[in-house]
Amino acid sequence: MKRHLFILAATFINAIAQAQNYKVTLQTSQYKSGIAYLTYHMGKNLNVEDSAAVTNKGIAIFTGKRTLPAGIYALVLPGKSKSVDFLIDREQQITISIDTTDLLSKTVVTGSPANVLLQQYQKTIASKAQLLEAEKKAYSAATTKKDSSLHEVNYNKFNKELNEYRNNIIKNQPKSMMAALLNAMKDPAVLNNIPQTHNDSLQNYYYYKTHYWDGVTFMDERIIRTPFFLPKLERYYRELMVQQPDSIIKEADYQLLLARSCPEMYKFLLNWLTDEYISPKYMGQDAVFVHLFEKYHSKGISNWLNEKQMETISRRAYMLMANLLGAKAADLEMVDTAGKSASLYNVAADFTVVVFWDPTCGHCKEEIPRMDSIYKASWKANGVKMYAVLSADSKDDLKQEWLKYIRQHNLSDWVNVYQTKEIETAITTAQKPGYRQLYDVTLTPTVYLLDKDKRIIAKKLTWQQLDELLQVKWKLKTNKLKSG
């Protein structure tokens, strides 16, 4: 009895070990040497998972003591000019026989039912694609309205048949990997194919956005390793989402909540969102990154990140926390050209432009005079004041050059200030953040626009962008006074 129990236990342990190992065998008579690669799709790239040498019998074996994540994989043959796609799902012991004379028709995958369905799908798609392309060319070459109509009807017929074929897979085999992939690839229809009014266009947009993720549960990690999920995610956040931090934060939190029971999806989403908004394309979206840090990374949720990655994220978040749009700008205790105290909060103005610059910076030498010209021509008369901070590591060495530049370019209307060594030492001793961290000064010139209460309206704009924004502010103020 004990012997039987031991055999059963050994069999069970062996089965677990076997399940945890992957083995993908390539068989091909066209290659007798070289290196083949086991890769997976993610975004626009093929990422290498493993490599193996092809023997003189045309066999390459990829194996490892782990389970491969499910997704769309590809075997890249020696020379890297040919590859064949296949699926990895629950089955981890797969053999792929390849004949390069016809990769589509003569490739045979065994050990994986998911790939039987994939190959049927690929052949059907290829066949329909030829018919669609033929009708498309015939339509373009048609010389009569009757011929054009005929080819248009045929094209729509074949396209409908293709869509019905996809829908039948989803309907008849809903738990298959192909169904999951087809659902995720689906593009929602629009309400009005030819919108007649602005309201039609808006309805189309809202309907499309609302149904954009209908085929994705965010609890199925199989769609991560595909060529379409990442572009779908990018399009949603970059093109369909309103580019306001609050809207993006709300959507990101919701999707991460949906993915909480799927570790790989959760990890993928949080990593992508962090990368996307650590250096955002639009002003103010750094609030999204700070939110991700405070709610997720700082709580230890992203424990897959190494120490260096976590340090980079943390440092960047702390550089941004004090200078988000709408936040009250940190006061700056500085000294002016006469050696007198001149803090930022002592500047009374409807708008204050804070500029961090360096007289040795080539870009500053171009931008500062231009900014002063527009200031004297327009900004000053409209209640704007300039608070310009010398931003340099060796301020004592640059002080004379700084003063000389101010005199030569007649920046006397500006409040020109710098931080003395004594002030810097006091801040360091008190373990308080310096102005570089408070204002995220990594490049010069760095420009901020503050309102009369010293709240941050805009940051890191060019003088042209700043002027456009101020013009809008003044116009709105004038219109408000007129209507009042």
User: pLDDT tens digits, residue range 327-357?
Assistant: 999 999 999 999 999 999 999 999 999 999 9
% of the chain with per-residue pLDDT over 90: 81
Domain residues of the chain, as ranges? 2-111, 119-174, 198-323, 335-483
Query: Does 6 have pLDDT greater than 60?
Result: no
Instruction: Please compute the mean of the pLDDT values over residues 281-288 and round it to a whole number.
Output: 95
Residues 6+ apart with CB under 8 A from 140: none
Burial of 425 (0-12, 13-18, 19+ CB in 10 A): exposed
Query: Does 379 have pLDDT greater than 50?
Result: yes
The domain 2-111 having CATH identifier 2.60.40: the answer here is yes
- Entry field: residues in the chain: 484
Torsion on CA atoms 346, 348, 349, 353, rounded to nearest 10: -10
Residues 6+ apart with CB under 8 A from 294: 317
Residue 414, SS3 per DSSP: coil
Max CA pair span of the chain:
100
Query: Does 377 have pLDDT greater than 50?
Result: yes
pLDDT of residue 291: 98
Burial of 202 (0-12, 13-18, 19+ CB in 10 A): exposed
pLDDT of residue 482: 73
> pLDDT tier at 266 (50, 70, 90 boundaries)?
very high
Q: Which is it for strands 456-459 and 35-42: parallel, antiparallel or unpaired?
A: unpaired
Instruction: Please compute the mean of the pLDDT values over residues 200-209 and round it to a whole number.
Output: 88
Query: Does 3 have pLDDT greater than 70?
Result: no
Instruction: Please compute the mean of the pLDDT values over residues 293-311 and round it to a whole number.
Output: 96
Q: Which CATH class is domain 335-483?
A: alpha beta
pTM of the model: 0.86
